[in-house]
């Protein structure tokens, strides 16, 4: 029996699945071949290690020591998304595209632009009329109207502060995750 054919039988020999004739031939080869006997001994050691699982004992303060090590590490640098820069870039790109459309486009684009400008003008006139009505009401209230106007202005400023100080960072954090 050659070494190559005997090595093919090692696994079956260790599993006790060889026929008596194959087992006798393999044992005869192993008696005369030290190399194959060494390989079979190594396979027995590997099988013994795989059969008995190894128990690892952790020290009693393992969790505490691990968490202390984690806390001592420096925090990773978190890059905040420049939301304002993205918004400005988007607006600049949009206005450049609109301008290019006016310069290079057909009369249909010009008509669309005139319609959009007309709509913008009407919106500004409506907001102006609403503001004028608000001033009339404030004037009717006398000195109390000035206080209501001041309170409304302060409420608007406080809302902006809340949005930029609390809401915006949380939204940016959610978009990153």
Q: What is the pLDDT of residues 111-153, one digit of tens each?
A: 666 676 677 677 777 767 776 776 666 665 555 555 556 566 6
Whether 174 is covered by a domain: the verdict is no
Name the least confident of 15-29, 88-102, 144-158: 144-158
Q: Which residues span the domain enclosing 39?
A: 3-51
User: Is 0.85 topped by the overall pTM?
Assistant: no
Number of domains in the chain: 1
Q: How confident is the model at residue 67 (pLDDT cuts 50, 70, 90)?
A: very high
Whether 142 is covered by a domain: the verdict is no
Helical packing angle, 107-140 and 143-162, nearest 10°: 130
pLDDT (mean) for 146-162: 66
Sign of CA dihedral 14, 20, 22, 25: positive
By CB neighbour count within 10 A (0-12 exposed, 13-18 middle, 19+ buried), where does 36 fall?
Answer: buried
Q: With contact defined as beta carbons under 8 Å apart, do 17 and 42 qualify?
A: no
Whether 22 is covered by a domain: the verdict is yes
Whether 21 is covered by a domain: the verdict is yes
Q: How confident is the model at residue 66 (pLDDT cuts 50, 70, 90)?
A: very high
Q: What is the pLDDT of residues 39-55, one digit of tens each?
A: 888 888 888 777 777 77
For residue 68, what pLDDT is reported?
92
SS3 of residue 57 by DSSP: coil
Whether 28 is covered by a domain: the verdict is yes
Q: With contact defined as beta carbons under 8 Å apart, do 79 and 175 qualify?
A: no
Whether 11 is covered by a domain: the verdict is yes
Whether 27 is covered by a domain: the verdict is yes
């Amino acid at each position: 029996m050659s070494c190559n054919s005997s090595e093919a039988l090692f696994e079956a020999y260790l599993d006790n699945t060889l026929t008596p004739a194959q087992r006798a031939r393999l044992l005869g080869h192993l008696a005369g071949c030290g190399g194959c006997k060494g390989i079979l001994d190594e396979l027995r050691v590997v099988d013994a290690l795989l059969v008995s699982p190894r128990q690892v004992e952790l020290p009693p303060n393992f969790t505490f020591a691990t968490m202390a090590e984690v806390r001592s590490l420096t925090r990773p640098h978190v890059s905040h998304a420049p939301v304002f820069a993205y918004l400005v870039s988007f607006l600049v790109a949009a206005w450049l595209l609109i301008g290019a459309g006016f310069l290079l486009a057909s009369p249909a684009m010009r008509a669309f632009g005139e319609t959009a400008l007309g709509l913008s003008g009407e919106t500004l006139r409506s907001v102006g009329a609403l503001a004028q009505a608000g001033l009339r009401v404030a004037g009717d209230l006398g000195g109390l109207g000035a206080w209501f106007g001041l309170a409304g202005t302060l409420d608007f400023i406080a809302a902006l502060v809340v949005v930029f100080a609390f809401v915006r960072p949380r939204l940016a954090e959610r978009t990153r995750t």
